[in-house]
Amino acid sequence: MGSRWLVSRRPVGPMILGRQTHCSRESLVQLAAALVAVLATILSSAPPSAAANAGAETRVRTSASVVEVLVKPSQQEVAGQRPGNDVVGPVIVMATGVAAKPAIGFADDAVGSAYVGMNKGGGHAIRHLREDGLVSNTGSLASQVAEFQTLTSPILRSPTKAFDWRVGDTMSRAFAGTAGGRTVVVFVAKEGPYQGRVLSAVAPDASKMAQWGLP
């Protein structure tokens, strides 16, 4: 018997066309990607627009204006004043149409403690007022100290002015007021063994009153 050849009759045309179509689509995608990359490179290297420059200039000018406003107040500081703090040292403020803030004194229930345990039983504290005739020079020391307390304790409660002052080597708080028809300044120790106690009291002369800013 002779050999027989079996020939397939399956169509091959559609398969070849499908492969060609797939390759064409891949090429188009690659080409489009390349174009996008080129355009991105061109745009990134382009100089900034006039609008961008104007915006940057506006921001710079605005920042400069803010800095100028913030700097000006600091140039108006009073001599001797530290930024953010009050003026150093005693300052006499004259206000027009505004009530002056009263000086802070002792509370009523605490003022008595300022006369307990004074130096030399109070003899050191009362000596100047005794010499000026505001405290009696007769009687016992205890009676003179009691008279001194009665005379000066209202000043400690409601001083017209209070300020720091050094008495000898001791820093004290000075309380000014009126007693016996005269201006009197009472000094209370802020440190040392007599802290919180009356150290001394004086009826200042004109020069001292001017130095302390008393009327």
Least confident of 2-6, 62-66, 104-108, 181-185: 62-66
Rounded Cα distance between 208 and 55, Å, is 65
Which among 173, 185, 189 has a CA at the least distance from the CA of 209? 185
Q: Can you give the length of the chain in residues?
A: 215
Distances (CA, A) of 142 to 55, 116, 132: 84, 11, 19
Tell me phi and psi for residue 132, to 5 degrees.
Answer: -85, 0
- pLDDT in the model for residue 31: 75
Say how many C-beta atoms besides its own lie within 10 A of residue 50's C-beta: 8
- pLDDT in the model for residue 103: 82
pLDDT in tens, 12-66: 454 444 445 555 666 676 777 777 776 777 766 555 544 444 444 444 343 433 3
Least confident of 6-15, 132-141, 160-169: 6-15
Does the pLDDT at position 96 exceed 50? no
- In the chain, how long is the greatest CA-to-CA distance? 170
Rounded Cα distance between 40 and 58, Å, is 28
Q: Do residues 187 and 172 lie in contact, with contact meaning Cβ atoms separated by under 8 Å?
A: yes
The type of residue at 72 is K
Does the pLDDT at position 99 exceed 50? no
Per-residue pLDDT, averaged over 144-161, amounts to: 97
Per-residue pLDDT, averaged over 111-134, amounts to: 96
SS3 85: coil
Rounded Cα distance between 201 and 115, Å, is 12
What are the structure tokens assigned to 176, written together?
């000014």
pLDDT in tens, 159-209: 999 999 999 999 999 999 999 999 999 999 999 999 999 999 999 999 999
Does the pLDDT at position 210 exceed 60? yes
Which H or E element spans position 42? helix 13-44
Per-residue pLDDT, averaged over 136-155, amounts to: 97
